[in-house]
Amino acid sequence: MSTQTPDTETDTDAEAEAETEQPASTSPQQRRMAKKRARREQRERDAAEAATEIEGETVELKVFRYDPEIEGKEEPRFDSFAVPFEKGMTVLDALIYARDEYDSSLTFRHSCRQAVCGSDAFFVNGRQRLGCQTQIADLDAPVRVEPLPHQDVVKDLVVEMDHFYDQMEAVDPFFDPDDLPEGELEEQRQDRQNREKIKLSTRCIWCGACMSSCNIAAGDNKYLGPAAINKAYRFYMDEREGEQKRRERLEIIEQEHGVWRCQTQFSCTNVCPKDIPLTEHIQELKREAVKQNLKFW
């Protein structure tokens, strides 16, 4: 197992060795690259020694690495880190430890650390999960962390999310009521039963886990995807939505690359960190689309 550890004083010695080993005819860039290689080799040697000295239980973290802008890192690989285990440790905690203590270039997104922002969705041990929500104790070792599948990787665990956001915006995720309350401070009231109906759909945190798990989205770049359709469900089923906007929204989701592309595999529902019944919502919108097209005369 190859691990990485923090820089130590030995880096200076490694640089000195690298300088003496390089012939005078080498270019400055070649000498800098030789120094980097020497430092990396030294860190790996130090890591191998430190791994045997860590007291208590450790967990092996295998992290996907990729950086297209750095020479020698353009090819995807996995780096292993020996992280001291603590009760209650999450995957995000382990990644932060690996970044802060071993390799500051390790790159991943995170923010609130409370399963609200949705920024730290990863592919952990073969399943889409939130890093801050996933307990290390619940996973089999080694813990393998990869970027979300079916999305372009920017660097390490960071994926390109622009397409996902575009799909979310495509369903017009905002209210457009026919009438507004007369009073400036008067609320636009909602029936308790209607609120219960859409309550689960409002939990979406835009993490992209469902989109990443969807085989249809992987093969059809125009498919709206479960997250966007769920967002449409949230507004379409809200009694405060205007009738004109409801018809327009239904036209958006019943298009060729809308609800009818769903093959009811339940993969999106299975991986949703907020337990939203995404597949059920998609099927309900299918029924609404059918009802809108029925004519009785």
DSSP label at residue 259? G
Domain boundaries 162-293, corresponding CATH code: 1.10.1060.10
Annotated domain spans of the chain? 54-159, 162-293
Element (H, E) at 80: strand 77-84
* pLDDT of 2: 43
Q: For 218-269, what is each residue's pLDDT tens digit?
A: 999 999 999 999 999 999 999 999 999 999 999 999 999 999 999 999 999 9
pTM for the model: 0.76
Question: Residue 67: its pLDDT value, please?
Answer: 93
Identical fold, 54-159 and 162-293: no
pLDDT of residue 52: 45
Q: Write out pLDDT tens, residues 153-172.
A: 999 999 999 999 999 999 99
Class of 54-159 in CATH: alpha beta
pLDDT for the residue numbered 74: 85
DSSP 13-38: HHHHHHHHHS-TTS-HHHHHHHHHHH
Residue spans of the chain under pLDDT 50: 1-12, 14-16, 18, 20, 51-55
SS3 81: strand
Task: Say whether 229 sits in a helix, a strand or coil.
Answer: helix
Q: Report the candidate in 159, 161, 284, 274 with the shortest Cα–Cα distance to residue 229.
A: 284
The whole-number pLDDT of residue 3 equals 46
Cβ-contact 80, 1 below 8 angstroms = yes
> What is the predicted pLDDT for the residue at 50?
52
